[in-house]
Amino acid sequence: MIRLKSSEDIARIRAAGRIVAEVLAALRERARPGVETIELDRIARAMIEKAGAVPSFLGYGRPPYPASICTSIDDQVVHGIPGRTRLHEGSLLSVDVGACLDGFHADAARTFAIGAVAPDAAQLMRVTEECFWKAFAAAIPDNRIGDLSSAVQRHAESFGYGVVRQLTGHGVGYALHEDPDVPNFGTAGRGLRIRPGLVIAVEPMINAGTADVEILEDGWTIVTRDRALSSHYEHTIAVTEDGPVVLTAE
């Protein structure tokens, strides 16, 4: 069931989104060679709780997710679990953060370059972000979800990249994951018609190689099957009468 949000709801999601954005900005500065990913998790949890919120991811799902953020390195697409792994020069680190404030969730992700990265890795990051903004531009009243999906797919595939199909964006707000699904592939003019009050997390997950992924034995970490690099870029957005707005901006 699609649950459209009131202007008051959207304001409360934006408040949670501001926390998410501040955490991502702090982690971008701390994500350096030699840093353990568990340290990034500690920083994020402390910031979220200091702001009066709770980490949306902690304890989520089955098996319960054991950390406050996701830290996915290189060929890890999403849901990498923070631990004693140290970041290395030239790696890509995708960080996914969710916060719940006063019962409302917001969700966003970025891929960070750890030190200097190869040109092909930098291009993958850039194109993944561009995919998001192309979908964002299509998130206007009376368009359809397929317009967002096809915008991501067309742009990513024009560079020869694989667009992950097993994972999608999603509605967000009253819960971390709500209807509708927001795939990163599809056909323009198809799918749910977009209405004002729709709040969704749009999150291109783009692979340098094929679209195929698999899950590791920890039950959470999803990696590219060919072990090629992957990049992730996400914002929570709201559709208004005047068009889309980002709710997870600093």
Would 69 be classed as within a structural domain?
Answer: yes
Would 14 be classed as within a structural domain?
Answer: yes
> Are 98 and 107 within 8 A, CB to CB?
yes
The yes-or-no verdict on residue 218 having pLDDT over 90 is: yes
**119-138 helix and 145-157 helix, angle to the nearest 10 degrees:** 160
Would 45 be classed as within a structural domain?
Answer: yes
The yes-or-no verdict on residue 120 having pLDDT over 90 is: yes
The yes-or-no verdict on residue 250 having pLDDT over 90 is: no
- In this prediction the pTM is 0.97
pLDDT digits (tens, 9 = 90+) for 28-46: 999 999 999 999 999 999 9
Would 2 be classed as within a structural domain?
Answer: no
Q: Find the radius of gyration of the CA atoms of the chain.
A: 17
pLDDT digits (tens, 9 = 90+) for 44-82: 999 999 999 999 999 999 999 999 999 999 999 999 999
d(CA 89, CA 129): 21
Would 62 be classed as within a structural domain?
Answer: yes
> How confident is the model at residue 183, as a pLDDT?
98
Mean pLDDT for the stretch of residues 159-174: 98
The yes-or-no verdict on residue 12 having pLDDT over 90 is: yes
Q: What CATH code is carried by the domain that includes residue 121? A: 3.90.230.10
pLDDT digits (tens, 9 = 90+) for 183-198: 999 999 999 999 999 9
The yes-or-no verdict on residue 21 having pLDDT over 90 is: yes
Would 28 be classed as within a structural domain?
Answer: yes
Chain mean pLDDT for the chain: 98
Q: Is 23 exposed, middle or buried (0-12, 13-18, 19+ CB in 10 A)?
A: buried
Domain count, the chain: 1
Domain that holds residue 148: 7-246
d(CA 111, CA 44): 16
> How confident is the model at residue 219, as a pLDDT?
96
Would 1 be classed as within a structural domain?
Answer: no
pLDDT digits (tens, 9 = 90+) for 79-93: 999 999 999 999 999
Mean pLDDT for the stretch of residues 152-159: 98
